[in-house]
Homo-oligomer: A and B are copies of this chain.
Amino acid sequence: MKRLPDLLLILPLLALAGPAGAAPIGECLPCHREKTPAAVRQWEESAHFKAKVNCEKCHGTDHEKMLRGEARVDQKVCAPCHQKAYDTHRQSRHGMGLHSGWGCTRNLPNRDPRECAFCHEEGSTAPLSGVQCARFLKQSTEMGEIGCNYCHNVENSCASCHTNHGTDLKYVRDPISCAKCHMGPDHPQWEMWQTSLHGSLFTTYGEKTGPTCQTCHMPGGSHNVSFGITMSSGGIPYAADKAKPAREEMLGVCSSCHATGFARRELTRDDAVQQQSLVIVKEAEKIVWDLHDHGLLDPMPANRPPHPLSGAKLVTDSQLLYEDTSHIERLLFKMKKYDYARTIKGAFHQNPAYTHWLGNAELKMDLVDIKAEASRLRSRAVVPAAAAAKIPAASREQQLQALKNKVERGAISPEEYEREKAKILQEVTGEKK
């Protein structure tokens, strides 16, 4: 299996060049001012330019490799000069196995063998990250690239937040730079911050008065964005031994503005919202499993494409799918991935509309819908399954009418119509005999 050897090539170069070594930039600029004008412009306005960190420093000198897209500038290229940022980044969720799907590309028919380097050290088959993502495995390569890896490359690429050639901290200190990924139905942290008291103060006064994402989650410039978090990324509370010190960490941040007692009461209340919401989710999961155990899901796992990780089994944990599944499981997906997440994240970000209307109310309506679908499925179970699974047999006339509809709207040719019609009529004759 071919692996990306570019780091091995680049690292010695970095060592030779040293932090302020000027490389022969003259060779790149004449062409690249034409070919990638924004990159050159951004670099010329950057701290890298001032510090004489030139193209070669990050990209190396093997132009053929660059053209093949193999000279990727990942976090290890940045680390030697930005060691503290790198180290704290690696301690955070951003730096650990977040790129869920990369490691799974071996299962894809048209994968790029260079992707191996995202989960394996050169020469090793041991995964750097054990995370596998069933949702990623269901995607096309293209959707996986834009829909998954565009954000989940944060593990490997500092440019994911900092942009490719800019170094200005104004951009990465603005929550809009986080919004690129932290938005949408599953984790709308940007939206809920923007319309919270914290965010509204930022809109009016800027970061001095209005706390940003960075103020609370990257205090003192730390890149450990998981600092002070007391639950997994799927919203499962940590055990006390892990949660307690994390809570104290976060309270340290809160107390730079608020009385600690006030902040503790707020966060404890949010914990309660989380626990109450989880009870609702568990009730829904139980309903789905009961239907499964009685063979009433429509379709059952055995009658649909297998789950990429678990095969023909029901999966309701964090690997729950939203495709090739039953209606009730897709309702559970919405409940867990969207509405549970919004309720608890809304609470911890002090946003009443996200906590209640876009969170809790949706969560409870999901439960109503899941119970209703369960009732329908149980009710259908009294109808003989064989009859329900197909169009009723007594519909010869219906078959002929359907055929007539098709030819009339041009979906089949008159010849096909005659052929199919003859087939149906022959069956009738056959039966009569």
Contacts and interface: CB of A to CB of B under 8 A. Distances in A.
Interface of A: 35-39, 42, 139-140, 142-143, 145-148, 150-151, 163, 170-171, 174, 176-177, 179-181, 183-186, 190, 194-197, 199-201, 203-205, 209, 255-260, 269-270, 272-273, 276, 289-290, 292-296, 298, 313, 322-327, 330, 333-334, 347, 350-361, 364-365, 367-369, 371-372, 375-376, 378-384, 387-392, 395, 398-399, 401-403, 405-406, 409, 411
A380 B372 CA distance: 13
Oligomeric state, in number of copies?
A: 3
B272 A142 contact: yes
Contact of A327 (B269, B324, B369): B369
B140 A353 contact: no
Contacts of A334: 365
* Most B Cβ at <10 Å: residue of A260, A358, A368: A368
* Most B Cβ at <10 Å: residue of A140, A146, A150: A146
Given A176-B195, A205-B171, A365 B323 contact: yes
A143 B359 CA distance: 11
Given A333-B365, A383-B383, 12 more contacts: A35-B259, A36-B259, A38-B257, A146-B273, A146-B355, A177-B204, A180-B197, A293-B406, A298-B375, A323-B361, A375-B388, A378-B389
A378 B382 contact: no
* Most B Cβ at <10 Å: residue of A355, A358, A395: A355
A111 to B, nearest CB: 15
Closest 10 CB pairs of A and B: A147-B356, A293-B402, A184-B353, A327-B372, A38-B257, A323-B364, A379-B388, A150-B352, A142-B272, A382-B387
Nearest to A185: B357
Contacts of A322: 361, 364-365, 368
B150 A179 contact: no
Contacts of A272: 140, 142
A143 B355 contact: yes
Contact of A326 (B143, B298, B350, B368): B368
Contacts of A350: 146, 150
A312 B371 CA distance: 19
B405 A293 contact: yes
* Most B Cβ at <10 Å: residue of A298, A361, A378, A405: A361
Contacts of A375: 298, 388
Nearest to A196: B180
A387 B176 CA distance: 56
A412 B280 CA distance: 21
23 contacts: A39-B258, A140-B276, A146-B273, A147-B356, A170-B204, A176-B195, A176-B199, A176-B203, A179-B194, A181-B352, A184-B354, A184-B357, A190-B195, A293-B401, A293-B403, A313-B409, A327-B368, A327-B371, A334-B365, A376-B380, A382-B383, A382-B388, A383-B383
A372 B298 contact: yes
Nearest to A357: B184
A325 B367 CA distance: 10
Contact of A353 (B181, B295, B353, B383): B181
